[in-house]
Structure 1
């Protein structure tokens, strides 16, 4: 498990250490630094998968700013503008899995590949050693789902390499339907993740059961389209004699397709998996948002590590209820509230107690309902 991430001269951070837990919740105002945490981890993974962290031959090691997972621009876009005693370089430090590693990259204003400084970096230069050092970040089971996920479509891509060789859903969840088709009979082995009254413990039946928690009455199927490199997703409602015809995603509410990659990512996770989630509550009603927290909490209790960015108080309260009901230990959670202070970001970290209460409630931290209520009652 990853235990901390330290960002130096990265985007809105001069230097800050962020503690990580099995379930880490990142909240705060827009443009306050939440996404930077997820992006920095995705940047390291992207640079590893492209071979830039562990180059072969005479190529230079570096951070690849633009690739499959993130598109961060150039050095000018990612370096903290007001660097001071830490110097002009960009630093990413990760602790976890009983080890630590540091990468320090030179600042080049127009470059999208930032060269690593060997004398300041402390990480293996070969892929096998790096994966062995930090398997949570560089091993199998990694998923990063962005806020802009797949929308309802008539068909979805069919990539054997993505779903079978990599087990990857894609940063927009674009391979989710094909993954579900190919792995629908796989067993969900985590007891914490299984819904007991589902038809079976298979991935498909458990996906159906969790989707029904998010949208009561819904069911789904994923199938290949013969003679094409695409797959089809269909939804039905009701059961038995009252079961509806199959509907295309384009004729069903946006939220169902938007949330499906998150459900499949959590259900297919294994101990040691790392799942990065941006705004999983998007397009979900409040009940569904709370159940989203229950799902992520169950994945964390089953051994996966979740780092989630959210703007939803329902997700926060769902996490607190997971702790209060004893389904997730309080020490397995971390909550970080991000806010701007001048040109930099600062982080306040309320602690969840075993009864679900928070150690503090800083100004601006999910307090808009109380602010509005005060005005309504005035």
Structure 2
């Protein structure tokens, strides 16, 4: 498990240190650094798969696209280098990169990351998963990929392979995380567990998929109240959340899962239940990083702590914000920082930072 992430001179961060635990929530208003805190992990994973982890970092590839060195380096950096450090399973690894403004490849200046021991870190294991905020919308047909489904165990960065995953593995794979099992599901098979959790969002959902081998596509149908509908006719919510649910349920102990905006297109009850599901999966020792703008996701996690579904010690909140700082070298400027209020045993927070999911209270004050 990743215990700490440190970045220097990367994008909006002069320096950022993140203590990590099992369930890590990244929150804050737009452009405060939430995505930038996740991107070092994606860049390291990308370079690992492109066989350059000890040589340099590829800024553009299958997992993430940053641009060039100009987009990579913090604009206020005093020195032309970017450094990533990560503590995993008690050992620290670091990568320090030279700066090439025009290139999308930044060479290693210094690193201690060598040998096959890196393969034991969850970030570099085959079961690592990342579902981006830019997920695929409702489609009549979805893609197929034997390599991604079986060899990489993926549903696609944009969720584009979730239908194929269910078609291939839904009736064979079992949900092994006992904390994530839905009590109303017919069995622990992945397809039934997926249907049960989706029914928390839209009651009575059943899924059926059909592969068209000759054209390399997968059809998906939703059965609602004993009537069949194509994904085009059940709204965006189910199509956006289904890859998230499948990724959570297929995760096993020791895996790392990064989720961006799992609340997208969900009504408040669905968002709260998504927060609970995320907490349940994390209780099975799956490390999760979730970036969210939803107070309902947060409340689902807080209630999971109160109801003893997950220990408060296994949840870490990170609130990203900006603060005006007087820099002796360049004068006053905004610096990106973070706070980490703790969830208490009863679900309350140790303190409530200004701007941290407080719009409800502010609106209520204006209304009254």
Equivalent residue number for residue 76 of structure 2: 82
Written as runs of structure 1 = structure 2, the 5 A alignment for 1:278-357 is 278-341=260-323, 342-357=333-348
> Does the alignment pair 1:48 with 2:42?
no
Q: How does 1:184-333 map to 2 (within 5 A)?
A: 184=170, 185-238=172-225, 243-244=226-227, 246-333=228-315
> Which residue pairs with 1:57 in the alignment?
none
User: 1:226, CA displacement in angstroms?
Assistant: 4.2
8 Å CA contact retained: 1:13, 1:344: yes
1:192-243 deviations in Å (ceiling 9; x for gaps) = 01112211110000000000012212221222124221111110112xxxx1
TM-score by length of 1: 0.93
Shift of 1:94: 0.6
Alpha carbons 1:192, 1:301 under 8 Å: kept? yes
**Among 356, 359, 364, the residue aligned to 1:365:** 356
Q: Secondary structure at the match of 1:289?
A: helix
Of residues 154, 173, 176 in structure 2, which corresponds to 1:168?
A: 154
CA distance in 1, matches of 2:105, 2:301: 38
| In 1: Cα distance, 2:137 partner to 2:68 partner | 29
- TM-superposition CA deviations, 1:69-127 (whole Å, max 9, x none): 1010011112111113xx3210111112222210111111111110011xx31211x4x
CA–CA distance in structure 1, aligned partners of residues 360 and 166 of structure 2: 38
Deviation at 1:177, TM superposition (A): 1.1
**Deviation above 6 Å: which 4+ runs of structure 1?**
none
C-alpha deviation, 1:344, in angstroms:
2.4
* Alpha-carbon distance in structure 1 between the residues aligned to 2:264 and 2:245: 13
Secondary structure at 1:187 match in 2 = coil
Query: Aligned equivalents of 2:230 and 2:9: distance in 1?
Result: 46
- Any conservation in 1 of the 2:194–2:245 contact (CA below 8 Å)? yes
CA separation in 2, counterparts of 1:195 and 1:170?
24
Alpha-carbon distance in structure 1 between the residues aligned to 2:111 and 2:80: 15
| 3-state SS of paired residue (2:48) | helix
SS at match of 1:336: strand
Task: Indicate the larger mover: 336-345 or 143-152.
Answer: 336-345
Unaligned runs of 5+ in 2: 324-332
Counterpart of 1:138?
Answer: 124
Q: Is the 8 A contact 1:97 1:136 kept in 2?
A: no
Matched residue, 1:107: 99
Counterpart Cα distance in 2 of 1:3 and 1:166 = 24
3-state SS in 1 of match to 2:178: coil
SS of corresponding position for 2:223: strand
Q: Which stretch of the first structure deviates more once superposed, 172-181 or 25-34?
A: 172-181
Match of 1:121 in 2: 111
Q: Is contact 1:157–1:229 with CA below 8 Å preserved after alignment?
A: yes
Higher strand share: 2
**Aligned partners of 1:141 and 1:272 also within 8 Å:** no
Q: Distance in 2 between matches of 1:255 and 1:175?
A: 17
Q: What is the aligned-residue RMSD (CA, Å)?
A: 1.1
Match of 2:58 among 56, 64, 70: 64
| Alignment correspondent of 1:8 | 8
Question: In 1, are the aligned partners of 2:316 and 2:340 still within 8 Å (CA)?
Answer: yes
Question: Secondary structure in 1 aligned to 2:199?
Answer: helix
CA distance in 1, matches of 2:80, 2:341: 31
User: Aligned-pair distance for 1:343?
Assistant: 3.3
